[in-house]
Structure 1
Amino acid sequence: MNFSHELVLVTGSSRGIGKAIAFAFAEKGATVILNGATNEARLKETYESFLNKGFKVYAYFGDLSDYNVASSMMDTIKSHYGKLPSIVINNAGISHVGLFTDTTPEMWNKILTTNLNSAYHCSYLTIPSMLQREGGIIINISSIWGMVGASCEVAYSTSKAALNGFTKALAKELGPSHIRVNGIACGWIDTDMTSCYTEEEKSAFVDEIPLCKTGSPQDVANTCLYLASPLASYVTGQIITLDGGLL
């Protein structure tokens, strides 16, 4: 697979899943826009590590759940490259583990805004250019908990369920314009987001997985490469379950 002619935006890509996705596309020749919203130093570190690899890369620090920030980023990208991304991977997201009754309105709004609105903003701002070129790829990084729900993760599950609905509906609307929209429902992927669990909790979870192991950020990156490639030219509106067979 060669993506040397593609401009790829990966949100939430200073670490973890997003970084692995960005690396995978950059390694295949794509020009990649990195993004982070909480740690500018870490984003810069990732950006410099990509540059040292000889990758074509750009970094933008900002919270894309804010429409004005997302719009400003797109203006900057267009000014820099003369075009907007042809592949958008909406990965930015946060989680919260706790009782629903302890989930304050502030927590609720932050989780839904970050996990859902950032995907809406980036899609809304890039789709017009995709319509003009009659093609494009949008991939939304979701979760199995958006499909079945998770106790003590009500807000997170709700945001990912909404993202799944967004993916399916948008795919139907954009299909006639040759724009493909898919999602990846991740199970346990070893990242900072899952580091809050003990080894005992992880082991108990793995016991339920038919493949007897957790996933890696590279597994998600490989799935993104497939969905963005001609190999998946007839795949749209799908939520690919990446969970080792758990569901």
Structure 2
Amino acid sequence: MQKLILITGASGAIGSATAEALAEAGASLYLHYNNSKKAVEKLAQKLQENYPSQTFTCLQADLSCEKGPDQLLMQMDKPVTGVIYASGFSEINLFQDTPLETTKKMIQLQLTSPFRLLQDLIKPMIQARAGNIVLVSSIWGLKGASTEVLYSMVKGGQNAFVKALAQEVAPSGITVNAVAPGAVDTSMMQLFSPEDIEYVKEEIPMGRLAQPDEVASLIKYLMSDKASYISGQIVSINGAWYC
């Protein structure tokens, strides 16, 4: 049976790299985006040309607002066999200066929306007694980060969500995991100056940032049958930055 997988945040560096990795493995994909329509459509066209026997469908929804999950679900006409939640943005600010509106959007995007989406999408998986779920968390959800308290909080919440949900659905044959990247060479790093990025590289024992395709390879493995006994894990990919 061909897999049909939802990737949220498919326009991002990790999301698009994951889409390419899973398409190569034979999966059809729902490719979610919010604002980056052209990028996702270009990705879908490329995948369709390379894998004509599979389907690649673009879906738009703003998952940082309350109605976002239902807007996304309304566009999906087939049950999925797996979900990768890769949506996100970072907020760098002093704790006491973090705007309330930013806090609401971050909690909605990183906690409420995946909770709501999976409440619906997991039902057919339970009936089929099979399915794979991966959330893209962060190293900051494990160790926390100064000036990224809000981001650290929601990523820590995702990690707890993964551990609890994994235990609940394990009897139904569903795996639930998270990957927790360290510093990855994506647009999020543009929030930092070149000097700050060099400092981060010096702090990482491997001396470099991760590449999106390295994170995608880990996600691909966790979504595969070879990882069928791995569940409830927060797998950190960080170049030995945090062990």
What TM-score does the superposition give when structure 2 sets the normalisation length? Answer: 0.93
For residues 132 and 66 of structure 1, do their structure 2 counterparts lie closer, same or farther at Cα, with a shift above 3 Å needed? farther
CA contact (8 A) 1:142 1:185 kept: yes
1:32 aligned residue: 29
Q: C-alpha deviations, 1:83-137, integer Å up to 9, x for none? A: 3111100111111111112101101111111112221122111111111101110
Query: Of 82, 93, 104, which residue of structure 1 is paired with 2:99?
Result: 104
Query: Which residue of 136, 141, 146 maps to 2:136?
Result: 141
- What is the 5 A alignment of 1:39-118? 39-54=36-51, 56-66=55-65, 68-78=67-77, 83-118=78-113
Structure 2 unmatched runs, 5+: none
Alpha carbons 1:71, 1:125 under 8 Å: kept: no
Tell me how many residue pairs correspond in the alignment. Answer: 240
- Which segment is superposed worse, 37-46 or 232-241? 37-46
Aligned partners of 1:64 and 1:121 also within 8 Å: no
Give the letter aligned to residue 183 of structure 1. A
Q: Which moved more, 1:202-211 or 1:164-173?
A: 202-211
Q: Distance in 1 between matches of 2:163 and 2:135?
A: 11
Instruction: Specify every segment of 5 or more residues in structure 1 that has no aligned partner in the other structure, as ranges.
Output: none
Partner of 1:23: 20
- TM-score (normalised: structure 1): 0.92
In 1, the alpha carbon distance for the partners of 2:120 and 2:19 equals 20
Distance 2:86 2:112 in 1: 12
Matched, 1:239 2:238: no
Is contact 2:48–2:56 with CA below 8 Å preserved after alignment?
Answer: yes
Equivalent runs, 1:98-247 vs 2, <5 Å: 98-247=93-242
Two-structure CA RMSD over aligned residues (Å): 1.5
The worse-fitting range, judged by mean Cα deviation, of 36-45 and 106-115 is: 36-45
Other structure's SS at 2:22 match: helix
Shift of 1:217: 0.7
- 2:6 aligned partner: 9
Alpha-carbon deviations, 1:144-184, whole Å to 9, x = none?
Answer: 10111111111111110000000000001111111100000
Measure, in 2, the Cα distance between the counterparts of 1:69 and 1:114. Answer: 9
Do the aligned residues in 2 keep the contact of 1:7 with 1:32 (CA within 8 Å)?
Answer: yes
C-alpha distance in structure 1 between counterparts of 2:22 and 2:101, whole Å = 35
Bigger Cα displacement from structure 2, 86-95 vs 48-57: 48-57
Shift of 1:72: 3.9
Which deviates further from its counterpart, 35-44 or 153-162?
35-44
CA distance 1:67–1:176, shift in 2 (3 Å): farther
- Relative distance call for 1:133 and 1:66 in structure 2 (3 A) is farther
- In structure 1, how many angstroms separate the alpha carbons of the residues matched to 2:69 and 2:49? 27
Secondary structure of the 1:122 match is: helix
Aligned equivalents of 1:51, 1:231: Cα separation in 2: 26
Cα deviation, 1:23-74, whole Å, max 9, x if unaligned, reads 1111221101101112323332332333333352100011134454423433
Contact 2:66 2:108 in 1 (8 A): no
The percent identity for this pair of structures is 35
